[in-house]
Amino acid sequence: MELGNSPEPADSQSQSAVPVSPIHVPPTLREGECYHVFISYSSTDHQWTHCIINQLESCGLQVCYHDRDFTPGRTVLENMSECIQESQKVLLVLSPEFVRSRWCLLEANMSLFKDCLERKPIIPVLLQPGVSVPLHLCHLTYLEANDPDFMNKLLKVLCTPNRQLQGSTVVPFQPPSIYNGKALQPLTAVNDEGLNKWDCGQFSDMEVPDQLRLIIEDQEKYREAVRMINTVSQNKVWLRPVWLRALVALFCTMCPLSLAILCTIQISAFLSENSTSNVFSLLVFTISCFWCAVAGIFSHVIIGEKDEEKYIVKELQKAVGQANTLLSEEKVLMGCQSNSKIYLVYVSLDGCKQEFAETFSEQVGAEDMFQRAMMYFSSGYACCLAKRNFPFPQSSSSGHLEGGVCFCQYVSQQLSRGEWK
């Protein structure tokens, strides 16, 4: 992200114009501490970040960042671990590039989940509005870079001793239950660039994304789920080259026309007195009619409908529903609305599954009903949850998802709308 894309109050000139309160005094560094704060940021945001670093250091704070303070010759992992341990706090500069960056996510993961010398307060800074906050940072209250009083708020947190931060804007790590219903970063097809509308995206199953490594215990389930989705590209999509599609269309058009001409000739022969010609003409006429019907169906199904994006998305949604029967055990659901992107949400279906068991307790197929609901509705539910937009008024009655629509509520609404198909 270029500096020009940052919010106006977050550039270097506007930040330097913000008056800083003189009452903020840096806390004392204790034994083993060399820095007041370790700053993790994407290299694309270095101009904005270095402006902030200069202001913090001018206020007497000791700042640690990778460009200057990492030890040459050591691995990035070793450097990050040591710098976090030697710092009182961790500041994360959240931007689109930060969220996409593998190393930046690793730094965030370490600061939250690895055993450092002590629990480090995490201070997320939202560099611009609309940045999708990673799942493992959703429980933190962030500062906004375009806030006119940003620097004073940041200094207040950095200059407050860790023992006094309990219950303030920065909160310690909390159990995963608070993430229920949160959207994760979506998956983008590896062949997204130049993907035709009749084609199908392929998704990498070689490596589990960083955000999912923290959630999915059995990572082979994720790989198997992605392989299920990739079968659409392998088995449901063909006739990809445009020239081949045009050739088949021409074939479907010309063959019935040619046979119709031949049929006309044979009908003329049929009207003659030669019985052998009559039988042969009748046979050719029957074959011609059959071929015209087959060619017409072939042209409609293969050329007309199957190459449209609507068909591909429908097939992907079926595959995603099947994949969700695996991922739901890991509290993750996928959703699909296009041929190149898959939405991911962290959501527990334990309460909904129990609801199915109680509703169908007198029937043998309670588990089967839940699996069928997963197949038909889980993709749409994940998309709605990720976008916080449902195609019906949200019920005032409480479900199994605090502050949102749970899966069994969604299924009930879809069934009442006649969406079971």
Most confident of 257-261, 336-340, 380-384: 380-384
pTM of the entire predicted model? 0.55
- Does the pLDDT at position 9 exceed 60? no
* pLDDT higher at 128 or 133: 128
Strands 341-346 and 332-336: antiparallel
**Mean pLDDT of the region 104-120:** 56
Angstrom distance (rounded) from CA 52 to CA 55? 5
* pLDDT higher at 9 or 100: 100
User: Which of 1-5, 204-208, 235-239, 328-332 shows the lowest mean pLDDT across its residues?
Assistant: 1-5
Sign of torsion over alpha carbons 115, 118, 120, 121:
positive
DSSP state of 344: E
Dihedral angle computed from the Cα positions of residues 44, 50, 56 and 59, in that order, rounded to the nearest 10 degrees: -170
- In CATH, what class is 3-174? alpha beta
For residue 318, the number of C-alpha atoms closer than 13 Å in the C-beta half-sphere is 10
**Mean pLDDT of the region 62-66:** 94
Q: In this predicted structure, what is the pLDDT of residue 383? A: 95
pLDDT for 174-184, tens place per residue?
445 556 788 87
Cβ–Cβ under 8 Å, residues 63 and 87: no
Q: How many CB atoms lie within 10 A of CB 325?
A: 16
**Mean pLDDT of the region 239-251:** 56
pLDDT for 141-162, tens place per residue?
789 999 899 999 999 999 988 8
- Does the pLDDT at position 366 exceed 70? yes
**Mean pLDDT of the region 314-324:** 94
pLDDT for 260-296, tens place per residue?
665 666 556 555 555 555 556 666 666 666 666 665 5
Q: In this predicted structure, what is the pLDDT of residue 305? A: 46
- Does the pLDDT at position 377 exceed 80? yes
- Does the pLDDT at position 5 exceed 50? no
Q: In this predicted structure, what is the pLDDT of residue 219? A: 85
Domain boundaries, the chain: 3-174, 182-236+309-416, 242-305
DSSP state of 305: I
* pLDDT higher at 256 or 39: 39
**Mean pLDDT of the region 5-22:** 44
Q: Is 129 left (phi over 0), alpha (psi -120 to 50) or beta?
A: beta
Most confident of 19-28, 58-67, 113-122, 360-369: 58-67
Give the DSSP per-residue string, 130-173: T----GGGTTSPPEETT-TTHHHHHHHHHTS-GGG-TTSSS---
